[in-house]
Chain A
Amino acid sequence: MNTVDFQLRGLTLTALPSGALWDATHRALCVSDLHLCKSDRIARRQGLMLPPYESRETLDKLAADIEATHPQMVICLGDSFDDLAAAEALDDDCRQTLTQLQAGRRWIWIEGNHDPGPVELGGTHLAELQLGPLTYRHIAENAPSGEVSGHYHPKFALPGAGAARPCFLYDDRRLILPAYGAYTGGLRAQTPVLRDLFAPQCFAILTGRKALLTRLP
């Protein structure tokens, strides 16, 4: 597999090229910012009718990662739905996929700013989750110690090597996951609001064909 292993608080984690995080010790797969049903929310709020296939695309990608890792637990790290009303718009086909993916494993929805309440789609709803030395929550907090979060949709462009790609960012205290959903943009990793969350010594793992480890300037 074209993955990158790294350590946070003594725990070995694996960054998958898709943007998912794999914790082999706890057999947990974590994905952040799925933004399912984003097109429905855009139609409702802006009157634009974008191709309504992003939930299908995102769930297919997630199904492939689950197939490859066989997790005992799946953690959706917030903003899984573009808003709570959008969760109701998930079509039957996608609901069925989701039910199949949930079968035989723990499924945890962490609350995000887009989806602050529970959805009627199985699984457990939590504000945070503690797993070994790591705390999973949607938005990074001050002074963390072993925190895994999402929310910022980090991306990074390697100098001289083309467009920015969604990326994992980590230092010795925290990890921020890239957005996993199909219709998600990114925030450049050097943007102060994001960069300042990390120590000067900070690493990025780019997603794409292969996960690619590099250091943030």
Chain B
Amino acid sequence: MLLIAPTGGGKTLSGFLPSLIELADAPADGLHTLYVSPLKALAADIKRNLRTPVEEMDLPIRIEDRTGDTSYTQKRRQRADPPHILLTTPESLALLTSYEDAPRMFSGLQRVIVDEIHALQESKRGDQLMLALSRLDAISPGLRRVGLSATVEDPDAIAKTLARHPDPCPILYADPGPDPDIQMLVTQELPPWSGGGAAYSIPAVLEQVKKHKTTLIFHNTRAQAEIYFHNLWLANDEGLPIGIHHGSLAREQRDKVEAAMVRGELKAIVCTGTLDLGIDWGDVDLVIQIGAPKNVKRLVQRIGRANHRYNAPSRALLVPANRFEIVECVAALEAVKERALDGEPKGAGPRDVLCQHILIRACAGPFVDTELFDEVRTVGAYADLSRAAFDDCLEFCATGGYALRAYDRWQRLMLRDGLWHLRDPRAAQRIRMNIGTIQDTDTLKVRLKGNFKPLGEVEEAFAATLSPGDTFLIGGEIVRYENLKEMTVQVTRRADKQPKIATFLGTKFATTTQLFDRILAMFQQPDWPQLPGHTADWLALQRKVSKMPERDRILVETFPHDSRSHSVFYSFAGRNAQQTLGMLLTQRMEDLGLNPIGFVATDYATMVWGLDEITDPAPLFDASSLRDGFENWLSGNAVMKKTFRASATIAGLIERNLPQARKSGRQATFSSDILYDTLTKYDPDHLMLRITREEALRGLVDFGRIEEMIARTEGRIDHVTLKRVSPLAAPICLEPGRVPIKGEGRERLAEEAAAKLLDTAGLADNGKDKRRWGGPMLFYG
């Protein structure tokens, strides 16, 4: 059964009512109800909210949570003596099903409650969860499933995912409640042309914080949250109690903030998606969204944080960080008013997740392939899985699935007497350590020097850019990078006002198609009365010095910037498609001798820079050469390698976590890109490459939207040559996530850089040094 109710409607507790009644009427030992939520914090939160009434009514019901944060002893005890109600996450559940005693633990299970199922459904975590449920269903037939979802645009799709295939799934709708009260924050200061910091809004936001009981200040990325929090504190003359909460902070720090919030001690919390889902603590009466909400569904969720009184409208303020985001915010506001929730359709069950499921199943003990196949097919997303496709995955798990059968001696799974089992039972530990489908970039812990307690985490790629002495923000404080010791970033505290390096990476969200159509329609208005004056002026200036992008044309702007020629292609196809377009365009440019060096993609445009200027963009968009290029390009590009890495990790080809902490001797490890290249060359039909291609086409490369864009624009290209960056292009110049192109242009740069280093040695080309001690001579034959 699926219950759809707006956030704040009390749907979570209602999901537990049948369990509480059954357990009160007929107390029995063992696990009765399993609650699964996408967030650890949510499980902890529900535990608090559920225990209070249970203790007040003096019911003999034990409620515990189990997540990656639960202690080892507690986890052991839970397996030996499970509580009546266990609150957990998809990953922890998958791990539980991997133990040999899983059948004993789950044999009496009556109900499973999946909370915030709309959020899980968007990712592979949902697929993994449903596979785990198919296992539980086999252990405890007749298990009842309840899904709890916020308002969604396609409830039937979620119902199909939730229910055991082909069972029906009734859907219950709760009253959606009054319309939320959302406005754009009016500030004295003008928002900047570009950038994502929104520092201009700090005084106005502080005013709002003072006027309300508790304010949640949402950001789209962790880096933005850190910078904003820092600036907020610098301006917080009255010392208002304000906290910060996001996913890369250490657990102790998050716990502290959560506890303070529950006690009502905080006036405001600066946060990211970790607080995005239905966590219900304290008297939040205002939600502020910094930066444009990239999709409307997320915006509505966040607004739901405010004012958990069901019959009063929620109050929210949008704070666009720059002028382009003002346009996005206005478009999003219109969408909320029209209750037009957006979302992307979901494809068939991914096979890398299935491979992991097979390995997890093998950890739990020997299995019969036919039985597992039948079980998997009860999952809605895998209902159409063919036996051949299943066998491919099984073969991959067992032997690696290579054309060259090199692993007969070291097979992972062996078939004996009709049963599949692990060749080496010790492998189970390694498989368990790598359960999960969340593909975070690799992160490193950050620690104060001489202190054991971690401050939080930063991405490995960010850590690699640091030199000793660099300062950056973490947990709202400025720290100085000292060194990297045993894969931990060691830092010291600094009292500086501004960090030298302001940002680390962070999650990027893609804007949805619906929002684009609204934005493009808005661009065509003769004037913009619904936009603030400065933003209308900005668009007017764009119209004056260049052109407004149109739905059925491609606008190309070319201008010099940073001593390189830049071209911006506005085609509004979404970040993934724009990224693919960047790859294809730079490949065409390489063929045409234009020496591209790199590109960056945003949701609405791709910017390419290179050594030579584009004078005629039309040949770049020739549909047939783009299409030819696509096939050729697909196998060799960086996006595919990234996708391969993610899928290969999920499928168990490579490991993310090793039994011992990673060694610091890095020459022993090598990049998964090498594996991708080798497979492509020697085993192009290998399952992992087929999965990679499928995954990439599913979203990351989005060639479909490029085809659609080419068809829509039919070669209508407007090329504008400018002396400097255009108003609309300014935000793109600051966009992170630049992709380098490895071509002739970069080869030339490498040669220049190499020669420059030689020059500083004064040894570029003279023979004197050579005679003295055998210095270098250069030959490019």
Q: In the complex, what residues of A have CB within 8 A of residue B781's CB?
A: 1-3
Tell me, yes or no, whether A161 is within 8 Å of chain B by CB. yes
Whole-angstrom distance between the alpha carbons of A63 and B90 in the complex? 50
Whole-angstrom distance between the alpha carbons of A215 and B769 in the complex? 14
Complex partner residue of B682 from A57, A91, A210, A212, CB under 8 angstroms? A57
A49-B412, A51-B679, A57-B678 given; name 16 further pairs at CB < 8 Å: A3-B781, A7-B770, A7-B775, A9-B774, A44-B409, A46-B430, A47-B427, A49-B653, A50-B675, A52-B406, A53-B683, A57-B682, A91-B404, A158-B754, A186-B667, A187-B665
Residue of A nearest to B779 (CB): A5
Contact at A52–B761, with CB atoms within 8 Å?
Answer: no
Whole-angstrom distance between the alpha carbons of A52 and B156 in the complex? 45
Contact at A49–B399, with CB atoms within 8 Å?
Answer: yes
Q: In the complex, what residues of A have CB within 8 A of residue B407's CB?
A: 43, 49, 52
Residue pairs across A and B with Cβ atoms less than 8 A apart, 14 shown, are A6-B777, A40-B410, A47-B426, A47-B427, A48-B653, A50-B653, A52-B400, A52-B404, A53-B679, A183-B678, A185-B668, A186-B670, A215-B758, A215-B763
Tell me, yes or no, whether B778 is within 8 Å of chain A by CB. yes
The prevalent SS among residues of A at the interface is loop
Whole-angstrom distance between the alpha carbons of A188 and B484 in the complex? 14
Q: Mark A183-194, 1 if CB is under 8 A from B, else 0.
A: 111111000000
Q: In the complex, what residues of A have CB within 8 A of residue B402's CB?
A: 49, 51-53
Tell me, yes or no, whether A8 is within 8 Å of chain B by CB. yes
Q: Which 8 A-B pairs have the closest CB atoms?
A: A49-B400, A7-B774, A52-B406, A185-B670, A214-B754, A43-B410, A153-B667, A53-B682
B653, B740, B774 pick with most chain A CB within 10 angstroms: B774
Contact at A47–B412, with CB atoms within 8 Å?
Answer: yes
Q: In the complex, what residues of A have CB within 8 A of residue B674's CB?
A: 182-183
Residue of B nearest to A191 (CB): B666
Residue of B nearest to A93 (CB): B404
Expressed in whole angstroms, the minimum distance between the Cβ of B405 and any Cβ of chain A is: 9
Given A7-B770, A52-B404, A213-B754, A187 and B682 touching (CB < 8 A)? no
Q: In the complex, what residues of B have CB within 8 A of residue A39's CB?
A: 406
Residues of B within 8 A of A (CB): 399-400, 402, 404, 406-407, 409-410, 412, 423-424, 426-427, 430, 653-655, 665-671, 674-675, 678-679, 681-683, 686, 740, 742, 746-747, 749-755, 757-758, 760-761, 763, 770, 773-781
Whole-angstrom distance between the alpha carbons of A179 and B666 in the complex? 13
Residue of A nearest to B398 (CB): A49
Complex partner residue of A162 from B686, B740, B777, B778, CB under 8 angstroms? B740
Whole-angstrom distance between the alpha carbons of A185 and B55 in the complex? 57
Complex partner residue of A53 from B410, B426, B681, B740, CB under 8 angstroms? B681
Given A56-B682, A161-B749, A186-B667, A4 and B776 touching (CB < 8 A)? yes
Complex partner residue of A47 from B410, B666, B683, B749, CB under 8 angstroms? B410
Residue of A nearest to B686 (CB): A51
Q: In the complex, what residues of A have CB within 8 A of residue B754's CB?
A: 158, 161, 206, 212-214
Given A5-B779, A40-B406, A48 and B654 touching (CB < 8 A)? yes
Whole-angstrom distance between the alpha carbons of A182 and B774 in the complex? 31
Whole-angstrom distance between the alpha carbons of A179 and B740 in the complex? 25
Contact at A217–B757, with CB atoms within 8 Å?
Answer: yes
Contact at A187–B779, with CB atoms within 8 Å?
Answer: no
Expressed in whole angstroms, the minimum distance between the Cβ of B637 and any Cβ of chain A is: 15
Q: Mark A143-178, 1 if CB is under 8 A from B, else 0.
A: 000000000110000111110000000001000000
Whole-angstrom distance between the alpha carbons of A183 and B653 in the complex? 15
Expressed in whole angstroms, the minimum distance between the Cβ of B655 and any Cβ of chain A is: 7
Q: In the complex, what residues of A have CB within 8 A of residue B679's CB?
A: 51, 53
